[in-house]
Amino acid sequence: MRVSRVLYLLALILLPVPPSAAGAVQPTAWASGKVVDEAGQPVPGARVELVPVQGDWFPPDSANPVRYRATSGPDGRFRIPEVPADSWFSLGISQKGFTVLLESGILTPVNGGQVALGTFQLPEGPTVAGKVVDSKGHPLAGARIWAQSRQDPQVGNLLPDGGPAAVTGADGRFEIHRFEPGDLEVCWHDLSVQLAPDSSARNRIVLRPPPPPSRISGRVIDDQGLPVAGAKVHLSSTDPWAILRTLAREWHPCSGRNPGGELVTLSDREGRFKFELTGSETMNVWAEAAGFLEQEKVKVAHSPQNPGRVELVLERGAVVSGRVLTAGGLPAAGAEVAILKAGNPHPQPALTDSKGRYRVIGVEPGEQTVAIRHPSGQALRKLTVAPGENRRPDLVLDGDELREIRGRVTGPDGEPVADASVSITEPAAL
């Protein structure tokens, strides 16, 4: 009897703790499959990756997507553990000497568990060979060559990252076996080129010098003509499709500067800034600094023969200061004070000091709304801001203490509804 009682108590201890007591755990899945060549023979050492995909074209962070990886064993089999459940993925398989195999539309089960991906046959295709030379015809040894299939351009920017498909020898020559129709990316130091190779002939790939250097430079000054030091200066392309073209080229590791992305630098003590560029283009330039109003973008053209030059004038904003008091008339230390702006529902707030005093700089003159939040209460007030200094009367919090809201979500039949989304909204502005 004593032994059976001990076993009973041990069983109670070993029972799984319900989620409500231990905290909800996100279910995970594990994916398995096999990699073979065109003859059905196992391919060991193949790099297999699952990358989360969100939206129609690109993953949430195309430049640095989360990857769930595994390597095929001697029998060609692989297993990828700890994959998030109820998620969409794209699959990529890369192996030296083969074109990357890509497949999209993989969904993991809602409750986790096994995802049997099946057997993947690496693409069969002709051998692509060629020679990489410089602009004078000299062979380039050590040039790296990546190969990408065109079968699924949707995820072409995700893979590979495990190494090139080939590296040129001392004579500049290379070979890639089983190359499915697609593109090659060839890079050597800071030179690179992308092309569609001809499998029926030996490809001669010429890496030409980069475009001649150019630049955009200038100064950031205030509306009094004084330099603004430490201003953040932004530079971006005026071409709305540039970022998409850049993403389409980012499947390889030898990309140069991102021409569709945004470059940022800081102005020096004299307000000067400089961007080192190549080629010719018209760019958007704008600056921002604490205490100044938001500036519109300025278009600046640049070329090697005519570098761009611009003077960015920042207009100093108004200053709003005052004091925040609790409903009981005491200073509200540590209260958040923010001027709400159109298009920016979450501006960076200023904090009140131990005496409840605040100071907000860089405010647009005109009718504004100030929002105050404090553990003892909150307030939303309209105010008129004039240029320069604005000393406001004391702002008294409404005294609505923050309280916990509890409840229960049920369906039409009165049964509880799990994982329901519950939200609250603030009352309309006063």
| Poorest-pLDDT segment among 6-15, 74-83, 154-163, 254-263 | 6-15
Q: What is the pLDDT of residue 344?
A: 59
CA 38, distance to chain mean position in Å, is 37
Q: Report pLDDT digits (tens) over 24-78.
A: 567 899 999 999 988 899 999 988 988 887 644 344 444 456 778 999 999 999 9
Looking at domain 213-314, which CATH architecture does it have?
Answer: Sandwich (2.60)
Interval 107-131 mean pLDDT: 86
Q: What is the pLDDT of residue 91?
A: 87
Interval 273-286 mean pLDDT: 90
User: Higher pLDDT residue, 244 or 342?
Assistant: 342
Query: Distance between CA 314 and CA 329 in Å, rounded?
Result: 39
| 180 pLDDT above the threshold of 70 | no
State both tokens at 52: 């989360």
| 287 pLDDT above the threshold of 70 | yes
| 18 pLDDT above the threshold of 60 | no
Interval 206-224 mean pLDDT: 90
Query: Distance between CA 204 and CA 126 in Å, rounded?
Result: 17
3-state class percentages of the chain: helix first, strand second, coil last, to nearest 5 = 5, 45, 50
Query: Distance between CA 69 and CA 51 in Å, rounded?
Result: 9
Within 8 A by CB and 6+ apart from 186, the residues are 132, 143, 144, 145, 192, 193, 194, 195, 205, 207
Q: What is the pLDDT of residue 13?
A: 38
Q: What is the pLDDT of residue 418?
A: 81
| Poorest-pLDDT segment among 5-19, 58-72, 111-125, 242-256 | 5-19
Question: Which residue reads 């404090």 in tokens?
Answer: 374
| 160 pLDDT above the threshold of 70 | no
Percent of the chain with pLDDT over 70: 76
Q: What is the pLDDT of residue 232?
A: 95
State the chain's mean pLDDT as an integer.
79
Query: Distance between CA 62 and CA 355 in Å, rounded?
Result: 47
| 289 pLDDT above the threshold of 90 | yes
| 16 pLDDT above the threshold of 50 | no
In the chain, where does the domain assigned CATH 2.60.40.10 lie?
24-121, 128-207, 213-314
Question: Phi/psi zone of residue 245: left (φ > 0), alpha (ψ -120 to 50 degrees), beta?
Answer: alpha
Q: What is the pLDDT of residue 270?
A: 96
Q: How does residue 277 score in pLDDT terms, banded at 50, 70 and 90?
A: confident
In the chain, where does the domain assigned CATH 2.60.40.1120 lie?
318-430
- Please measure the distance between the N-terminal and C-terminal CA atoms of the chain and give it in whole angstroms: 73
Domain 24-121 has CATH 3.55.50.30: no
> What topology does CATH give the domain 128-207?
Immunoglobulin-like (2.60.40)
CATH superfamily to which 318-430 belongs: Carboxypeptidase-like, regulatory domain (2.60.40.1120)
Phi, psi of 274 (to 5 degrees): -155, 140
State both tokens at 156: 């072409």
| 298 pLDDT above the threshold of 80 | yes
Q: What is the pLDDT of residue 267?
A: 95
Which range in 44-58, 186-200, 384-398 is most confidently predicted, on average pLDDT?
384-398
Q: What is the pLDDT of residue 233?
A: 96
| 142 pLDDT above the threshold of 80 | yes
| Poorest-pLDDT segment among 169-173, 301-305, 405-409 | 405-409
Q: Give me the amino acid identity at 292.
A: F
Q: Report pLDDT digits (tens) over 327-351.
A: 888 999 999 999 887 655 667 889 9
